[in-house]
Structure 1
């Protein structure tokens, strides 16, 4: 009967082809993978550009099989940048290009880079990150559930304010200075006689606009791109009191699901993106300073005697924080700086 006739060989061939195509499509879906990358600043800033550079390199070299989707402005933690490390450790974030400052509440060793006036110049930063101290920092991060892959750099942080020239510690007396959510920053600015006020970057510019705070500290790249001079910050003091290296990193559970080739690709591209971003940040420093001065900002460059007055005023911070960071780590950093 017609209804019970066996399928033709041609029909079976079509069915088999359809199944095969479906299997290939499913395999392609499985093979293609997207990972979420968190960062605090957008690609208008070198920090955000570093994350995007990483994403571009990965997409190019994986032929689209592995993609990184960048979420700037701390979107994945509702704007609270100090929660980024915890969110990555718990699996809410796959990857990040994060700040040593923002991650320091969860990784005390990262406070090394926030010790005031520890690193006098860029060669000192490199001596730490490229040597034993840098390895110890990476070990500390990995012991807390996050895999560090490479270094970047947000740059030396300078001081700005709306009240006047600051060239000695007494000039900071009573000034409300916006700082990030790190107790070490509170202690540093308290030692200098200021009134440190903790707030996220999202809240900082409105506070500067209204005069709720008198000043802030950030790299020149942030001052320049965010046009902080437009909210009354007419005075900048170049004091290089700390540098904020960035860290490319991955959630440990996500990392464990990657193939060896994918791990090698992520690490290789992170190192490349980090080196690219560090070079760009440093090369643009003088250009940014010139642009800031052209906009009428008064720039004070401390001489050696003035600089030493700030160093002396913050010595007490070391007594409290070196034991928390780890005396061996701080000694390794100092030895690397001395030997550079």
Structure 2
């Protein structure tokens, strides 16, 4: 199997390689010795990493995929009816197409989460961590805009460049998002100050850690050039072109924490702020409720299993 399938491009590159590699009349078969060799390395490496990751992270990835499906169904539930619950209530205060906005947000969350998993399964853990940081910010935005009509109105206005800069600075930069989440937690009934502090510190530590990867810090870049073995803690290999790494346990664990928190907060916002219960006669909302409960139950089972 080839990765460079455009015949003209492949022949052009091979002509240049022929000129530079074989200028001393070595007569090497360029296509087989160079391009094809790297193509094979990429494809075989991806296949091997995929098999090892799925084997080593079977339970973790099962939970991840459950949450991905949950959020995907939620996106579809919003999409099915442009004049549903949120349109009926929120259009009264001049919010345009709230269902479409939330459908879009949850579609992007679903795809970001799926991309993190696919990168991990391909042995590209450092790249997965960079994207996970992007995903965290979007989940915070989704939580705050779902809970606050005025925040949603501001978010929708960010299509204007000048307004976008001001709105982002005042409402959607990381510190503002984190503070907003903590305030919302109190609104939803979490009144234990120690627990609130724990949630805030955990959130900040994860975000700060992943920011090193999205900002390409020296430490992240240096570490990201290598992988650690699942079977031998002392073994370190190059991550060039992708290779499975035991560090992916942490990446998927963090992803599951993010998706669990999102699931719990969406449910709390539905019931405590909007007094909204998914309609039992609607197939997609029923499907969403079933998957949500199953995913959270599975996550609690996994955590208990880890303790023992």
- Shorter-chain TM range is under 0.3
Q: TM-score, normalised by structure 2?
A: 0.28
Higher strand share: 1
Is the radius of gyration larger for structure 1 or structure 2?
1
Query: TM-score, normalization: structure 1?
Result: 0.26
